[in-house]
Amino acid sequence: MLKDITIHLIDREGISHTLSAPLDIQLNLMEICKAYELPVEGTCGGMAMCASCQCYIESSHSILERSADEEAMLSEAFHVQDNSRLGCQIQMSNAIDGLIVRLAPSE
């Protein structure tokens, strides 16, 4: 059995939540947030076709680069920064254990 990883998520009120994420059921960050009932809408269901799960990566973890779809969506999203990512495109893996991430403002 794979060990859960930990994600530190800062919500829009600045409150930090420690999330425990399993690795064996292919979850992404948007889904983990929804499972914890955090205010992430995930309107498009994870297709990188809305920006409701946009977040800012605040730790120095190396994460896979943005895909073309994600890049395109972020180019039309609001409040975008260099460290912006769509939560739905970040798969849970050992490489992101301890990730610190902040939710972008809702649109």
Q: Closer to another protein at the Cβ: 65 or 76?
A: 76
75 in contact with another protein (CB under 8 A)? yes
Q: Closer to another protein at the Cβ: 4 or 41?
A: 41
The encoded tokens of residue 88 equal: 């739905």
Cα separation, 92 vs 28, whole angstroms: 6
**Sole binder of another protein in the list 9, 29, 30, 50 (CB under 8 A):** 50
User: Least Å distance between CB 65 and another protein?
Assistant: 15
Return the residues of window 14-43 that contact another protein according to CB under 8 A. 37, 41, 43
Residues near 7 by Cβ (< 8 Å), separated by ≥ 6?
18, 19, 21, 29, 32, 92, 96, 98, 99, 101
